[in-house]
Structure 1
Amino acid sequence: MSRRIALSVVAGVVVLGGAGAFALAYAGDQDKAPVLAHSSARYTAPAGGHGGSLSFTTEVTASSGVKSLKVLAWPEKSELAGKLPTAKEMTEVESATCTPAGGHTARCVYEVAVPAADAASSPHGAWHVAVLATAVDGSTTLDHKAAGFTVR
């Protein structure tokens, strides 16, 4: 009987060890995906004959380094709310400018001018900033609501 118990214990250790190794491997893969932190958006409406602006900033950390950050601002009350952009679609939008911020982190900034005519024809209300962060190793993180702002 002690031999059966010993075999059961050994079999249990092998199964748990394999599951643990799988969990660590899976967790390791998750660590490769870029991580966004401190994301914020600032919208300034055109006024007094001067154009407005939209500025988005974030910190991106990726173990292999940061390759790019794509940025898309979209109104909450639009067709995008029902069908959010895919990672493939996001590769076609404008890029932020990323600069090293220490370690495996980059500070990324996206700025765009907002002419009065564009602001007048834009939907008012809540807007979101979608981003696609790509690491040097090709791993990606897509966040459809990385930050938000209001157009009045």
Structure 2
Amino acid sequence: MQRVEDETIRDAGTVYTFSDPPNTSGNVINHVTDREFDSNGDLRSVSVAGVETDYDWYTSGSNRGEINTITDAVSNTWTFQNYKRGTPRTEQSPIAGIGITRTVNDSGTIASVTDAEAKTTGYSYDDNNELSASPRQRPPTTTRRLPAPARRAHPSATAC
């Protein structure tokens, strides 16, 4: 069976379709990704195998050009607000009261994230703005020895 992935891009009225590998006859599993852009080049929707996600962008104000909302196929909407250097400082999920708040440094790196349970995770960076320490410690490694499996007689063995 052959798997074919088609990608269709709609760019301000122009439609481009790409297939990888080229669609051939026979048993074919067809997986289609459809992306639609507005006249500004902003992504408006993505449909993967018929499941659509919509994107809405800020068109004015200090957040202009940033994502405002993302809505999934069952109308759940995530909202992004208060951008600093391209990073939303406030993100609200479709579940009431569930969101995160970010503190963004002047360099655009994230200084901390506070989750819906009011737990704050801080981040530090080196001189190249690369993450310098893991914000979460890894749990200690544990080793557990299991008993060896019982030996079984081969099915063709005969009892004496």
Q: TM-score range by the shorter chain?
A: under 0.3
Higher helix share: 1
| Structure number with larger C-alpha Rg | 2
TM-score by length of 1: 0.19
